[in-house]
Structure 1
C-alpha cells in the first residue's frame, strides 16, 4: 500500500509526538512512585516511634501498678504509717509522664488508698468495666479500659488496672492507674502530617482512645467492623491505603500494635497531601509534553492542510455552485441576478414558466427585453431605487405566456461592493393563490359582518382568553359599549350577567363554553346598560370556536333580548290572578289565600271571616249614566274597600258589582262586625265620577270559620246567603249568617258607628 507524501509526513509527526508523550509519562510515573515510597517510609518511621513511646509509657505505668499490687498484698508495707506507706507504694508512679491518679479499690469498688491524698477521696467505681472484668474472673493481668472522664478529676483519661488477691487467693480489689488523654494529644500534635493527616490510638477492639486532629465526638467511639479496623487487627504492623470511617478521607495508613498491650497506633497521611507536589509536577510536565506533541502534529497538519487546500477549495466551489443551482432551480420563485447595467448574470428555471424563456436564453440580455416596454416602465422606479442602494418590495400583476393573469410579489436587494452597488438580486414569488384566498376570505368576512349586523340578537365574540374581539350593533345597544372601547376587555366586564330577580352576578356562559370546550344552553339573566343603567332581560347562549386542529381559538355568545316577552309573561301572570278593571285579586287568587288562611286558623285555633258585598242600584247607574261611569264607580269603590281593611286582608272582585273580603286571623265575630262598620262608613260618602256625583249603598253578608263552614266553598255560600238576606231586609246593611234554619243577624246599618253583633 503506497502512502502519499502528506500521509507519510503526518504519520512521522504522530510517531514523534507519541514518543515524546511516552518519555514524559514515564518520568511523571517515576516521580509519583518516589513520592509514594517516601511517604510510606516516613509513616512507618513515625508509627514505630509512636509505638516505642507509648509502649514505654504503658510499661512504666504497669510497673508502678505492679509495685502497688506487691505493696498492698505485703502485710509489712500495709502496717507502715500512712505517709511511709504512700511513699513505699507510689514513689515510682510520680516519675511517669502523663500518669494521673493511682487508686487502690476494694472488691466493692470503694477507694481505700489514693496516690494523691493521705486521706483517700470518697468514690465508688463498682460500675466501671475495669472493676467488673476482674470481679467476673474474665481477665487476669493488665486490663486497658475504655477512655472515660475521671470521676475524681473530671479529666478524660485511659484507665489501666490490675487485680490484687488476698492470702486465700480470692479477689481482694483492683489497683487502677490512669493515663491522661491529653498526654497522647500533645504527643500527636508535635507531629506535622499536613492538613489532611491523621494519628490515631485505638484499643484492640476498635475503640478510639486518642486522635489528631482532635474531635470531642470521636473519643471513646467504637469503629469495630470497619474496613480499616479489620486491616489493623489482621497483622501486627503494616501499610495500606484506605478511606477513613470518620471523615471519609482517603489516606495512606501505617500501623503497629503497641508492644504486648491491647493497643494499636496508626499514622495516616492524606493521599491528596502525599501527591500534591506530584500533581503540580505532573501538570507542568504533562502540559509541556502535550504542547510539544500538539506542536509536532499541528505543524504537520498545517503543512498537509496547505497541500490539500487548493484541491479542496476547488472541489467545494464546484459542489457549492451545483448545489446552489439545484436549489435555485427548484424554488417556486423566480431568482435572478442583474448587474448594474441591468444585464442578466443568472436566472433559475422558474423564468421559463413565467416568461417562456430558459435561463440560457436570458443570460446577458437587458431586463427590458425580458419584461417588455410596458412592464419595464412600471418597474423602472423600483430598479433605479435598488441601484441606489435601497431595498424594494412591491406587488405586481404579470400575464404569463398562456395569457393567465398572475399576481406576484417582487423583491429587489442591492449587491454592495463596499459602498458601490454592483448588481441586484431579484426574487419574484407567485402569490396568485394567496390573493384569491384573501379575496375569498374578505368576501366571507364581509358576508359574516353584514349578517351579524342585520340579525336581531346581540353577538359577542372573544379570543381564547375571553377578551372581546367583536360586538355587533345589537350588542352595543344592550351593553352600552362601543366596539372599539370593548375590544381587548374581559367579556365579564362588557357583558355583566346578573340573576333575574337579584343583583348577584351570574356565571358567564361564554366562560363556561371556553372552560368546558362545548356549547352552553341558553341561560336567563339580566344585563345592565353601561351608562343608563337600563335593565334588559336576555337569554345568553355560547359556543367555543375551534380551528381545524380542534384547538380553542375563541368563543361566541348570542344574547336574545327577551325584555318584552318577560314583561308580557309577567303581565299575563298578573291578569291570571287580578281583576283587569280594579286590579283587585280575582277569585283564583282569593281561593289560594283562603286555603292558606284556613290552614293557619286550624293550626293557631283562631277564626276567619268571609264577607260578600254587593252594590245597591248599580244596574241603574249603568243604564242611566253609562258603563264608563259604572266602571269608574267600581274602581273607586275598590280603592275604598282596600283602604278600610288591613294589609293582611284580601279584597276580591267576584264579578260585576259583587266583591268578597277575606279576613284571616281574627279572634271573634266582633272583629268582623267592626270591619263591616268601617266598610259601610268608608263607602257611604258620595263618589265624584267625572262630571257626576253619586251616592251608592252597600249590602253585605258575613260567614265565620269554623262556626259557619269548614272550607271556603261553604263559607262563600253562607256569606252569599247572608248578603241576600240583607238585600231582602231593606239593603244598606250587613248580615251575619246564623245557620240554615235561623234568620241572619243584622250587624251594621248605613250610618252605624259600632257593631251590633249578638
Structure 2
C-alpha cells in the first residue's frame, strides 16, 4: 500500500502550498482594503475642511464689502457692527470674527461693538498681510487664542484701501477642538491616527492628540518627499511620534490651500483579522494533515471491510430474492416515473402475466385509467396503501391492494417498493355491503306506501332549504295538501281502497313538480307537503292549482265527496327568511291556509294573507 503514503504526502504538500498562497492573497487584500479606507477617509476629511474654510472665506469677503460700504457711508460703530456681522451665518467650530486696524488693534469683532483694546500685531497672519498685498486667503499656524482661551487657527484676508494701501486685516478663527471632534468620529481602529498639516510641516491638529505637538514643524516626514509633487498618495512608515508602523495616505485640501490631511492605519489593526484567520487556517491545515495520515491508515482497513460487506450483500440479495420469488404476495420495484424494474413470479398466479411481460413497462399501463396514478401525491403521503383495479391477462379486471413505500436514495433509480395482494373477493363483499347500506338508507328516508319522502326527510330538507334561502335572500314556498273526506272514504271503501287513494294522490303530486330541488313528502296520514325553493307565492299557487285540478281530473270515484270523485284541499305560503323567523312559521302559515280551504268547502287552494291574520282567501 506504498502508493497510499505517496498520495497522502502529495496531497498534504499541495494543500500547504494552496493555503500559503491563499494567506498571502488575503494579506494583500487586507492591505489594499486599508489603503482604500485611508484614502477615502482622507478625501472626506479634506473635503469637509475645504468646505468649512470656504464658508469662512465667504464671511470674510462679506466683511470686506461691509467695511467698504461703512467707510463710504460714514456709518456709526453700531450700524457698522450690524452691517459687518448681522447677516453672517452661524458656523460650527468658528470662533470670534475680528477686524484689525493698520496697527493690529481690534476695531470691532463679532462679540462686541466697541473695541476691546487687544492688539495682534505680532501674529503671523497680520505680519504677512501687512508686508504683502497679494497673499489672498491666509491660514495661520495654530495659536492659543486670548479671546476664547482655546487653540485655534486664524483664517484671514487683507483690507486694502481704495488707494491700494494697507487698511488692516479681517480674521476668523477655527477652533482646533472642532477639528479634533470631527477626527474622533472617524473609524481609525485602535492604533490609527489622523493629522492636519500645513505645507511647511506645522501640525495643525492631530487625533489622538499628543502633548506639545500642535504647531511643531515635522518637515522630515516621508510625506514631504512626495508632496507637493503629488496632491495625494500612500506610503508605509514608522511614526516618529509614537513609534507605530502605519500605512499612511495623504490628501491636499482643495481649493489650493497650504493644508494636507494625513491618515494612518496601524499594521497591527490592518492585519489583526488576517492573523486570526491565518492562525485558524494553520490549525486546520495541521489537523487536515493529521487526518490525512489517519485516513491512509483507515483506508486499508476500509478496503478489507468493504470486501467483506460486498460478499455479505451478495448473500443477502440471494436470500431476499428467494423470499420474494416464493411469496404468495407480489413484490415489485419501480423507478420514480413508474417503470417496473422487478416483479416477483407471484404475478402469474394473480393476473396471469409473467414477470417479463411487465418489467420495463410503466405500472400505469396495467391500472384502470380512472384511478389516481400510484406515484402522485406529496411527500407526506408516504408510505401509502392503495386499492385499485388491475388488468388481467384475459382483459378482465382484478382488485389489488398495494402497500407502497419509498426506498432510500442509495437504491439508485429504484425509488419505490410495492407489496401487492389480490383483494377481489373482499372488494366484492364490500361493494355488496355498500349497496345494501345505500338501500337501507333510502328505505329509511322514504314512505313505504307512497314512495315519497317521509316526514323525517322532509323536516331535514325544510331546515336545509330555509338556511339556504336565508343566505341567498330568496323566497321559499310550501304547499300543504289534504285529501278531502278521507276518513269517510276509509269507512265506506275500506283501508285498502284508502291506501290506493293516497298512492294516486302521491303520483299526481310527483307528476306536477319537475325541478330537481322541488320535494314532495307524505306529511302524515292523508296530508302531503311540497317544498318549492326559489319560488314566490304566485308560482307556488300555480303549482298548487295544477295539483288540485289534476286530482279532480283523475275522476276517481268517492261517493262520500260532494263532487262524487276524489278531491284535495291545498294551503299555500311563501316567504323570504328574515331575522328572527324560523321554518316553523312557514309551516304554521301554510297550515292556516289549508284549514281555511277546508272551512270554505274543500276542493280549493287557499293562499295565506298576512294582513288578515289566520284568515285566507280562496282562489
TM-score by length of 2: 0.45
TM-score by length of 1: 0.37
Greater relative contact order structure (CA < 8 Å, 6+ sep)? 2
